[in-house]
Structure 1
Amino acid sequence: MSTRYFSLVLGIVFLLVGIAGFIPGLMHMPEQAADVEVTENFGRLFGLFPVNALHNIVHIIFGIWGIAAYRSYAGARGYSRAVAVIYAVLAVMGFIPGLNTTFGLIPLYGNDIWLHAVIAIAAAYFGFAVKDTEVSRSNTATTTTHRI
């Protein structure tokens, strides 16, 4: 898979997950909202991943960004690198009390920790390790010059 297609696929997944977080049938609603002060739409997506309305919006933003980044190799590589760094930081934040809820705004604990770490590793691979070769159309076109 190329870096551009990784950006597209991850963007689509983020967008779908962000939308899924707003669908009540896909959420398991706990009795109380734990340590999170933003309780709008708080629950566990698919019964596993703690999310709230802000968390879902962040997923949608990352989804739109990934889909837009697909348009160019440089954009996709930049997106992958940014996702790698941001999601690595989010994974670490999930272990730190106070930061694991982003100061009460967005839950980052539980199954989110390992998922954020996996996303960071995959994005780091495509952002830093993969060296896609992008061939421009002008380089592949052959031109013929005729002399009179």
Structure 2
Amino acid sequence: MATTNRTTGPKTNLQKAAQAVGAVFLLVGILGFIPGITSNYDTLSFAGHDSEALLLGIFQVSVLHNIVHLLFGIAGILMSRTNGQARKYLLYGGVIYLVLWIYGLLVGHDTPANFVPVNNADNWLHLVLGIAMIALAILLSRDTNHARGATTH
């Protein structure tokens, strides 16, 4: 009988997706601290809109922004251990990114309220991440539920 609390055996696609998303966030968090991959590295500040450091020359980052990516990555990897946690990570993480997208659209980029900081590229990436994470949570949960229903009699 399949279970949603699987911590041993082969990972489900839902767990693999959460683990992969977590690994990408962890990598992004690390890359944000590497000069060359992050341009204008000498302007990297702890937080605030005045950080002009750009990950891959596109996405505005700060120490706080990088730490958030690292924590989000660790959470994804740890939560990928069970189906239920993997689903929650993808679903609620996606919701968080949609909220960040809206926040980024509403807050002025040159104001103290932009403390993470975010720029236009970050905003649109947050939209894509939010939609993708929620879609993974929903679509891959269906596969898990369908498989569980097929094996339970």
Indicate the TM-score class for this superposition, using the shorter chain for normalisation: 0.7 to 0.9
Which residue in 1 is equivalent to 2:116?
106
- Between 1:10-19 and 1:118-127, the stretch displaced more is 118-127
Secondary structure, counterpart of 2:113 in structure 1: coil
Aligned-residue identity in percent: 38
Q: Does 1:122 align with 2:132?
A: yes
Q: Does 1:18 align with 2:51?
A: no
Q: CA deviation at 1:99?
A: 7.7
Number of equivalenced pairs? 135
Structure of larger gyration radius = 1
From 4, 7, 29, the equivalent of 2:18 is 7
Which residue in 2 is equivalent to 1:66?
76
Q: Larger helix proportion, structure 1 or 2?
A: 2
Contact 1:37 1:104 in 2 (8 A): yes
RMSD over aligned Cα atoms? 2.9
Which structure 1 segments of 5+ residues have no match?
141-148
| Residues 1-23 of structure 1, C-alpha deviations (whole Å, 9 max, x = no match) | 82211101100000000000001
Counterpart residue identity of residue 24, structure 1: P
Secondary structure, counterpart of 2:105 in structure 1: coil
Which structure 2 segments of 5+ residues have no match?
1-11
Counterpart residue identity of residue 108, structure 1: V
Structure 2 counterparts to residues 27-106 of structure 1, below 5 A:
27-29=38-40, 37=48, 42-98=52-108, 103-106=113-116
| Residues 49-90 of structure 1, C-alpha deviations (whole Å, 9 max, x = no match) | 000000000000000000001100001000011111100011
Q: Give the 3 Å change call, closer, same or farther, for CA 111–32 of structure 1 in structure 2.
A: same
